[in-house]
Amino acid sequence: MAGETMRAVLYNGYGAGAAGLKHVEIPVPSPKKDEILLKVEAASLNPVDWKIQDGSLRPLFPPKFPFVPVIDVAGEVADVGTGVKSFKPGDKVVSLLNFRKGGGLAEYAIAEERLTVTRPPEVSPAEGAGLPIAALTALQALKTVGIKFDGTSNSANILITAASGGVGHYAVQLAKLGNSHVTATCGARNVELVKSLGADEVLDYKTPEGASLKSPSGKKYDSVIHCTTGIGWSVFEQNLNAEGKVIDITPTLWGTISYVFSKLTFAKKQLVPLILSPKKEDMEFLVDLVKEGKLKTLVDSKHPLNKAEDAWAKIMGGHATGKVIVEM
């Protein structure tokens, strides 16, 4: 496809939010060794996308400007580089793009074979694109606290905060598949929705009961999958069992220092920062669950590429229910 151009959305510097996005025509990239050129059908936005734009991860990300953001995509293989053995043109796939290179908000994107998996016809582009960052984070968090998905997991009492969000809605479903008792927090408008995902107890986070995080059944939590911010350690600590752990998917410097200190002092209750380590086999596991109807991707909204700024504003607002999708 040398010499051809494509539509893309990029930004040229830090800040400006949705207004900083620019619609451009740029060359279609060519796949190198072990790379795949995807014709993107759907891309899913995550909070990290706008945090990179606002400078929260500088100077590491982005490595340079202009930058085409977004790394969660589903599409069709258009071309393959040398060394690619698992895919051929025409294959439908889900891919987690290179974090430093981005590229998802475009008609074509370069993916690495090692983090690309087959997408069966039962899984739509939007359902598949929602999985990589959010569902992998939920899965890894639950595995960190010992949840198994082969039927051998003991029943655990788990709290999931922001349970109607991108990571949270997957975490609820996966925790139930792992034989857990789930207490969840969300806004009042999503209480019934989160119950429908399998949560045993749901707290409106704006009520006194929700703010205290106390389980309506009086249970102490074995683990917390913490998918939001602004909750102090003291609130968690009083609700944990003797060896309870809080898995923080948006770790701060303070949280990391707290974890190191807890390890040094052999504290049994711990705040554990989670850094995503994506694995192809985990992506395949998640896609199979969607195929089998055991895991759902909740889609908050869909936006065409020429309205990508609307999707960007939605994800920046922080109250999306499930995933925000851009379709090409």
Mean pLDDT, rounded, for 182-191:
98
Mean pLDDT, rounded, for 194-221:
97
Structure tokens at 38: 């995807």
Tell me: cis bond preceding 208? Omega within 30 of 0 counts: no
* Torsion, CA 186, CA 191, CA 193, CA 199, rounded to 10: 80
DSSP, residue by residue, 160-176: ESSTTSHHHHHHHHHHH
Strand spans (E) along the chain: 5-10, 22-27, 35-45, 72-80, 92-96, 108-112, 116-118, 157-160, 181-186, 201-204, 221-226, 240-248, 270-273, 299-304, 323-327
Q: Distance (Å, rounded) from C-alpha 122 to C-alpha 154?
A: 31
Q: Distance (Å, rounded) from C-alpha 101 to C-alpha 86?
A: 22
| 28, 4 Cβ separation under 8 angstroms | yes
Look at residue 266 and tell me whether its pLDDT is greater than 50: no
| 160, 169 Cβ separation under 8 angstroms | no
Structure tokens at 88: 């051929």
Q: How high is the pLDDT of residue 264?
A: 45
Q: Which residue has the higher pLDDT, 238 or 151?
A: 238
Q: How high is the pLDDT of residue 254?
A: 54
Q: What is the DSSP letter of 19?
A: G
Structure tokens at 275: 């850094």
Q: Distance (Å, rounded) from C-alpha 314 to C-alpha 318?
A: 7
Share of the chain above pLDDT 90, in %: 89
Mean pLDDT, rounded, for 282-304:
98
Least confident stretch, 1-5, 11-15, 33-37, 123-127: 1-5
Structure tokens at 96: 């987690």
| 221, 157 Cβ separation under 8 angstroms | yes
Q: Which burial class, exposed, middle or buried, applies to 211 when counting CB atoms under 10 A from its CB (0-12, 13-18, 19+)?
A: middle
pTM: 0.95
The domains of the chain, with CATH numbers, are 5-130+297-327 (3.90.180.10), 134-273 (3.40.50.720)
Question: In whole numbers, what is the pLDDT of the chain averaged over residues?
Answer: 94
- Helix-, strand-, coil-residue percentages of the chain, each rounded to 5: 30, 30, 40
DSSP, residue by residue, 249-305: SS--HHHHHHHHHHHHTT-SSEEEE------HHHHHHHHHHHHTTSS---EEEEEEG
Question: What value does the CA radius of gyration of the chain take, rounded to a whole number of Å?
Answer: 20
pLDDT digits (tens, 9 = 90+) for 136-162: 999 999 999 999 998 888 899 999 999
Q: Tell me the CA distances in angstroms from 14 to 9, 70, 140, 191, one per residue in order.
A: 15, 15, 30, 36
Please name the helix (run of DSSP H) or strand (run of DSSP E) that holds residue 317, with its range, or none.
helix 308-317
